[in-house]
Structure 1
Amino acid sequence: MRKLVSSWMALMALALPLSIAPPSAAEAKPKVIYLVLWRGWEDASEGFKDGLDSAGIDYELIVRNAEGQKDRLAGFVAEAKALDVDLVATWGTSVATGMLGLHAGDANQLTVAPIPAVFMIVSQPIGSGLVADLSSSGRNFTGSLYLVSEQTQLTVLNSFGPVKRLAVVYNPLEANSTINVKRLTQLAKERQFELLARPVPLTVDGQPDGEQIIDTVESLAALGVDWFYQGPDSFMNKNGSIYVTAATAFGIPTFASTDRLVHEAGALLSVSNSYRAAGVVAAGKAAAILRDGVDPADIPITGPKEPSIVINIDSALALETYPPLSLLGLSKIVTAVPLE
């Protein structure tokens, strides 16, 4: 009997480590990432996914699209918490502030905290009130930058020749747009040029009226502006082709704060970080959180290392607005159909 008991205990001792061993990598559950978009899947989303794939993370991606409706965000916050996801990723200023909250907001504001999060395509993280300092959010999230400063944009723009009158048409309902216009207004005083900023007229329902863009451009063109400026404005980006085409019809070039309008709409110049690059940077920060266990508050908010200058040479030739030779060597040159 003793021999049987001893044998049984020996077998149990051998089996015990197997019963408490942690699951292998193959058995581990994938990390669940909850990605909320403002206006659908695009280059930043693709860059984010590619960055996650390159990081070798086993993940499940849940995608939600607000379709430009802020009132959907509270439901997304509730769903992310109910699903107990591992990380929330947000696209755009409205989604970030609506789901991550403001740094000086009410203690009871609705956020996804304590779920860790990363944001991307937020044009003004400080100006929008999302964070107080880019070195740390001080909270449960970090993010990537994509905009190049207005000072740098204007420096490159003026290399084509002194800009005396700069026109911008913007959506007055978007915080990032109004912040951008305020910065341009200050720079106009410092650099001694005239800024002609016009909000898009609103419909009777209080929404920006895309049908009024052409008339607004025409009224500004009549004032003899040198360039039109396209800022970080979701509504105007969506209507970018209308904006650029109208400006071009009056013989006036357009500067864009994102390169998409140079590629797709014929804007002459952009100085920016591509959406895709910003998405890849955000994915790297997500990997540091999910794979390496880094606290989001310890990850600075940064962007791609080098911005890109993109020139549509067909637009330059058509408008007889030529880039200096010194700029050509630093720029990506595209045509009406982008060169590969």
Structure 2
Amino acid sequence: MNDNNIADRAAVLITRLVLLALLILAPSSLMASDQTRSILMLTWRGLTPAEHSFIAHLEKLGVDADIEHFDAGRDQTRLAGFLRDRLDDIKSMDLIYTFGTTVTMTVQNFHVDNVPRVFNIVTDPVGVGLAPALDRPPRGMTGAKHSLSPEVNLQLLSGVYPVRTIAVLFDPRESNAVAEADRLSSAAEKRGISIKRLRFAPDAKEKDIQIAALKPELEDVDAIYVTSSSSFVAHSEALPQIIPEDLVSMGSSSAYVGDGITLVFGSEYEERGRTAAEMAAKILLEKVPPHNLPIDEISAAEATLYINSGNKAASKLKLENSRNAVVYK
């Protein structure tokens, strides 16, 4: 090898070393400018443990994110106004996180298909028309399903407390609650269980009149199923006013545990937040299209059975028949 070749190779090696040194010593602000992602977080009733978990886990996964948060305050008109006013800015975001069915469906109506979207704490994305199937999310969107299906919930309930008649409480103004009540009604019919559908709007002016009318309806049922309704969570103090202490009550959301509900099969908000963060990380870091990630749902075997230890009706449950892990709240 002649001297010229040796000199050329030495020059190339020195150049590479210099570039490597520049990358290592580059100011962190310059490095972050290429890696910081912009995320719009849209919530329905303030930041919940799901969002706190999402943010914390996203950081652990190595996603440097600038998160802008907007809360709808349970006002769909306010949310739509924000989306309309900020639509151009929103279309330049790297990702949109949405909490709950109403927020997710409202964003869907604004056709921001170019922005990846991850939803969380949605009860029944298929039932409300967000997706044709859990393994077939719509283009540009995926997410974490919160509750088990009404069919599975009824099956698991029957394992620890067989019922012949069940009431289902739902807010008729929330599409996810109506869809859940419909599916529970169908599942109960297939099992030969009589069902009584009870409508309740806890934030309406005539709340006390509704409560007085609902109480007699529960005198001849074995249990009551409380659908996943944001209005019920926001006005949880109304549930014990309706449900007798000795009546077994089942909630479809872990948010109800501690609000007078006897039992819930499901997962914590924190766990769903971590799952949503893992999806977001794959989208942002690995460039995986959202619709290539199936909507995540916990299985019946993975669900935890949460028991309200202060609820009198809990003594009626045959927990020895449960195959799920039991946690007392």
State whether TM-score is above 0.5.
yes
Shift of 1:98: 0.6
Cα distance in structure 1, aligned partners of 2:190 and 2:41: 40
Q: Which residue number corresponds to residue 219 of structure 1?
A: 216
The alignment status of 1:195 with 2:189, answered yes or no, reads no
Return the alpha-carbon distance in structure 2 between the equivalents of residues 299 and 143 of structure 1. 8
Establish whether residue 150 from structure 1 lines up as the match of residue 150 from structure 2. yes
Residue 201 (structure 1) shift: 5.8
CA distance in 2, matches of 1:152, 1:304: 11
Per the alignment, residue 61 of structure 2 pairs with: 55
Letter aligned with residue 96 of structure 1 = T
User: Taking structure 1 as reference, are residues 31 and 153 closer, same or farther at Cα in structure 2, changes over 3 Å only?
Assistant: same
> How do 1:286-325 residues align onto structure 2 when only pairs under 5 Å count?
286-304=280-298, 306-316=302-312, 320-325=315-320
Superposition RMSD in Å = 2.8
User: Which deviates more from structure 2 when the two are superposed, residues 163-172 or residues 88-97?
Assistant: 163-172
Distance 1:211 1:34 in 2: 38
- Give yes or no for contact 1:245–1:265 (8 Å, CA) kept in 2: no
State the secondary structure of the residue aligned to 1:255: strand
Residue 114 of structure 2 is aligned to residue 114 of structure 1: yes
| Residue of structure 2 equivalent to 1:283 | 277
Partner of 1:89: 97
Kept in 2, the 8 Å contact 1:200–1:212? The answer is no
Shift of 1:213: 4.8
Return closer, same or farther for 1:100/1:201 CA change in 2, 3 Å cut-off: closer
Matches within 5 A, 1:16-95: 26=28, 27=30, 28-29=32-33, 30-78=36-84, 79=86, 81-82=88-89, 84-95=92-103
Distance 1:283-1:212 versus aligned 2 partners, 3 A rule: farther
C-alpha contact (below 8 Å) 2:254/2:268 kept by paired residues: yes
> Runs of 5+ in structure 1 lacking a partner?
1-9, 102-109
Aligned to 1:232: 228
Amino acid at match of 1:291: L
CA contact (8 A) 2:126 2:133 kept: yes
- Residue 279 of structure 2 aligns to a residue whose secondary structure is helix
Instruction: Report the CA distance between 1:192 and its aligned residue.
Output: 0.7
Equivalent pairs counted in the alignment come to 305
Question: Among 328, 332, 338, which residue is 2:326 paired with?
Answer: 332
Whichever residue aligns with residue 63 of structure 1, its letter is H
Deviations 1:124-178 (A, max 9, x none): 1111111112223241111111111212211221123321111122111111111
Residue 164 of structure 2 contacts residue 222 of structure 2 at CA under 8 Å; is this kept in 1?
yes
Distance 1:242 1:133 in 2: 34
TM score, norm. by length of structure 2: 0.83
Alpha-carbon displacement from aligned partner over 1:164-210 (angstroms, at most 9, x marks no partner):
1111221111111111111111112111111111112699xxx5854
79-88 or 112-121, larger mean C-alpha shift:
79-88
After superposition, what is the alpha-carbon deviation per residue over 1:69-104, rounded to whole angstroms, capped at 9, x for unaligned?
Answer: 111233333425315221111001111111023xxx
2:130 and 2:138 in contact (8 A); partners too: no
Task: State the match for 1:7 in structure 2.
Answer: none
Task: Identify if the C-alpha distance between structure 1 residues 165 and 201 changes in structure 2 by more than 3 Å, giving closer, same or farther.
Answer: same
| Cα separation, 1, equivalents of 2:194 and 2:43 | 36
SS at 2:148 equivalent: coil
Residue 171 of structure 1 contacts residue 208 of structure 1 at CA under 8 Å; is this kept in 2?
no
Aligned 8 A contact 2:124 2:149 in 1: no
User: Contact 1:248/1:319 (CA < 8 Å) preserved in 2?
Assistant: no
Cα contact 1:198–1:216 (8 A) shared by 2: no
Letter in 1 for 2:82: F
Question: How far apart, CA to CA, are the structure 2 residues paired with 1:268 and 1:210?
Answer: 23
* Whole-angstrom distance in 1 between the partners of 2:281 and 2:206: 41
Partner Cα distance (1:51, 1:98) in 2: 26
2:108 partner letter: L
Preserved CA contact (<8 Å) 1:213 1:243: no
Distance 1:187 1:303, change over 3 A: closer
Is 1:246 paired with 2:246? no
Which residue of the partner structure matches residue 251 of structure 2? 256
Give the drift of 1:291. Answer: 1.1
Give yes or no for the alignment of 1:271 onto 2:265. Answer: yes
Identity of paired residues, percent? 25
- 1:290 offset after TM fit, Å? 0.9
Query: Is the Cα–Cα contact under 8 Å of residues 145 and 302 in structure 1 kept in the other structure?
Result: yes
After alignment, is 252-261 or 212-221 more displaced? 212-221
Tell me how far 1:123 sits from its aligned partner.
Answer: 1.1
| Counterpart in the other structure of 1:124 | 124
SS for the counterpart of 2:113 is coil
Code of the aligned partner of 1:182: D
Provide the C-alpha distance between the structure 1 equivalents of 2:268 and 2:27, rounded to a whole number of angstroms: 34
Distance 1:282 1:80, change over 3 A: farther
